[in-house]
Chain A
């Protein structure tokens, strides 16, 4: 039996670096599908779908605004679930932490888009960029909360420390966001102003409009998946680089002492 060759005791990955980037055949396919979805959405949203009886052309904004909001909520839900799995599973595998982080980042992006586009829509339909209604206010709070989450991820320390801190924060967010939403809703119900018509409140969707919304959801879901996969792989690479850097530093120190 040949004895195994003497190898270094560090975990530095060795071998050639032949590929760059985080793309694979699957993600290229996904990306192509996402682009098709975007074009399809633009075509139907801006062109083929009809104007609404009440809102006329401004209803077209709904087809990007609502899907981005829904996908943002989905993204934060994924963050919460991944955080829970990281925290409560035995292995505490960092892959779950990175998924949580990547999904939260995309969620913040989509939520930011939701707020900006919502403001544009509000300007068009109500004449004001902002309104203190329950949903808008809660959404703004949610946005700030997850910006805070992303900031906490950058606090430094070991990867496990980062993972634990962010996981706890994500689960606390699941606790506090409904609470905030509920109190804001109660607060606004106090101010029974003359019914302010919410843009998506008075839209009666016919078949084609519903279909366009459906296209929007598909397009955004594809975008979400593509973005999260790439972001998560990049995070994995960054973590590996961190570890490799540490291993190299340790190896250097050992070499110095020898």
Chain B
């Protein structure tokens, strides 16, 4: 058990170090995600708010847009992390060396979680700034819990499906086709929870916690599923 954890940590450090040296997520994925947030504003800001709404339409949509931005970033991150593995057959070499697949799964998930969490926080921060959202500090616990749970669930499911498509031809278009239906629960849950945390559209904080529950179930389900399924998948 501890050997697995240790190896997982080594795999995670390797992934993070690769990112640190290449800075692909920082230099390419983050700007892409930020630009999409700006583009959302162009597309949405024209709509007038309904009478009686305190927040503009853009502010009301902000949690959903930030979640969408996170999901798009996930797609790019997964492509990136498995492209790194497929070049020079790095993943195959790991397996051939007898490294436990479960450890690889947890290592890659951990690294992806950290990168996605940072990206997601920056996206939400961008939304707060450019959409003019007033952050409600009483909702911070809900916000942080949602943020951590959602990004973990996304990282787990991304690592799993990324492993499935790794090395396959046509995987750039295959991955979104496989992943987007699956991440619907996180999209729905995280958006509703962030809405409640921020109070956009007049939502109460208490309304958000059941949605965190949905996201948590997803995270546990795919953490477990990935642990079991990753081995057979990369055992080509």
A186 at the interface (CB under 8 A from B): yes
Bound together, the chains give a CA A169 to CA B230 distance in angstroms of 11
Q: Quick one: given A152-B178, A156-B169, are A168 and B189 in contact (CB under 8 Å)?
A: no
Chain B contacts to A: CB under 8 angstroms? 160, 164-165, 168-170, 174, 177-178, 180-182, 184-185, 188-189, 192, 210-211, 214, 217-218, 221-222, 225, 229, 232-233, 235-236
Asked if A179 contacts B221 (CB within 8 A), the reply is yes
Further pairs besides A156-B169, A176-B181: 8, Cβ < 8 Å: A144-B181, A147-B177, A155-B168, A165-B233, A171-B229, A186-B188, A186-B210, A186-B211
Bound together, the chains give a CA A180 to CA B160 distance in angstroms of 17
Asked if A155 contacts B181 (CB within 8 A), the reply is no
Asked if B181 contacts A145 (CB within 8 A), the reply is yes
A145, A157, A176, A180: which has the most chain B beta carbons within 10 Å? A176
Bound together, the chains give a CA A190 to CA B164 distance in angstroms of 35
Residue A183 contacts which of B165, B185, B225, B233 (CB distance < 8 angstroms)? Answer: B185
13 contacts between A and B (CB under 8 A): A144-B177, A144-B180, A151-B177, A152-B178, A155-B170, A157-B168, A164-B235, A165-B233, A172-B182, A176-B221, A183-B184, A187-B192, A190-B192
Residues of chain B with a CB closer than 8 A to A157's CB? 168, 236
Asked if A156 contacts B229 (CB within 8 A), the reply is no
Bound together, the chains give a CA A39 to CA B169 distance in angstroms of 45
Asked if B225 contacts A152 (CB within 8 A), the reply is no
Asked if B225 contacts A156 (CB within 8 A), the reply is no
Bound together, the chains give a CA A67 to CA B190 distance in angstroms of 36
Q: Quick one: given A180-B184, A183-B184, are A148 and B177 in contact (CB under 8 Å)?
A: yes
A54 at the interface (CB under 8 A from B): no
Residues of chain A with a CB closer than 8 A to B232's CB? 87, 164, 167-168
Asked if A148 contacts B174 (CB within 8 A), the reply is yes
Bound together, the chains give a CA A176 to CA B222 distance in angstroms of 9
Residue B188 contacts which of A87, A152, A172, A183 (CB distance < 8 angstroms)? Answer: A183
List the 7 shortest-distance A-B pairs measured between CB atoms, nearest first: A183-B185, A155-B168, A148-B178, A141-B181, A148-B177, A187-B188, A183-B188
Bound together, the chains give a CA A144 to CA B180 distance in angstroms of 9
A184 at the interface (CB under 8 A from B): yes
